[in-house]
Structure 1
Amino acid sequence: MTLVYLKISQPTPEQNALLLTADPSQRLIDHYLPLSTAFAAQDEQGLVGVLVLLPRAQQTLEIANLAVTPSRQRQGFAKVLLEFARQWAMEHGYRTLRVATGSTSLIQLRLYQQCGYRIVAVEPDYFTQAYSEEIFENGLRLRDRLVLERKVEIPKY
């Protein structure tokens, strides 16, 4: 699975539509994108996914947005993007990777935990306060945000 990662300065309509699948607020995307390093992952068939990395305090890098093209989901690409994020974080001196997801985002929550992320915080009512529209996922109203982290291993020389 060989992907090419292209930095995104201004997302194309296709990339932006994909960003919106992971975060339905254009307002929030427009806020964090200029503060981030964003990538489009592509292969010979086209756009595979997008990844937005947002620096935080104390050598922490947040995965602010990660989305895989719907027709390419369930093929391991999200894990490949998460590994790319880990490698990029390591190369740029970060010690911790953070990602936040909804408490009803069961598939994403499972994926992050499979990749070594652990829940470190719960932000009650985050989605009811940060988003103007109600969000329903897996038959449940999304209210709370879960924050997960993992350490970025330093290579042994």
Structure 2
Amino acid sequence: MDKSLPFRLRKLSATEPLPMTLLLLADETTAAIEKYIHHSDVYVAYADRISDPIAICALFRQEDDIVEIKNIAVNERYQGQGIGSWLLSEIKQLAREAGYKEVVVGTADAGYRQHSFYLRNGFVKSGIRKNFFIENYPEPIFENGLQLKDMILFKASL
């Protein structure tokens, strides 16, 4: 990551337009995003000297002490520079400050790169939502040559 680019995270207000291009990097359809986005706190990350957001996350209060990352994405141009890890660190800090005890996130069963990313950032595997991608998306979704079926859950204690 270019250390000369300080990053900042800003919560979007309910009236601001959503950067759907970023949200669609982490979710397959606008319809799927619409199911959770208006019940989530949406944060966008900016870097100095870059006017457009470089990353996004949507956080959903699952229980009084558990927040779920419903969407997290880094603009493809900036991936591989540590911004996703920085964003997870910021999410954990926000969650701690809000009194949450745990952050959970789910990703596709064939999303091996994402599995590794969450494990590297202090998450542990915590469960499976069986047939999630079969039941929640009208068309089959493929990743790494495999049809997505289950959602693998990860959690981080705060």
How high is the TM-score relative to the length of structure 1?
0.91
Matched residue count:
151
Which of 24, 47, 57 is the equivalent residue of 1:20?
A: 24
2:111 to 105, 109, 115: 105
In structure 2, the partner of 1:82 is 88
Residue type at the aligned position of 2:118: Y
SS of 2:36's equivalent? helix
Q: Work out which of the residue numbers 49, 60, 68 in structure 2 matches 1:54.
A: 60
Give matches, 1:57-68, under 5 Å: 57-68=63-74
Amino acid aligned to 1:69: N
Rounded to whole Å, the distance in 2 between the matches of 1:21 and 1:48 is 12
- Distance, in Å, in 2 between the alignment partners of 1:34 and 1:3 is 25
- Alpha carbons of structure 1 residues 10 and 51: separation in structure 2 relative to 1, 3 Å: farther
Cα displacement string for residues 8-45 of structure 1 (whole angstroms, at most 9, x for unaligned residues): 235646x2111011011212211211111101101122
Gaps of 5+ in 2: none
Q: Distance in 2 between matches of 1:148 and 1:76?
A: 19
Aligned residue for 2:9?
Answer: 5
CA distance in 1, matches of 2:108, 2:66: 20
* RMSD of aligned residue pairs (Cα, Å): 1.4
| Residues in 2 aligned to 1:133 and 1:40: alpha-carbon distance in whole angstroms | 29
Q: Which runs of 5+ in 1 are unaligned?
A: 153-157
Q: What TM-score comes out, normalization by structure 2 length? A: 0.90
State the identity %: 28
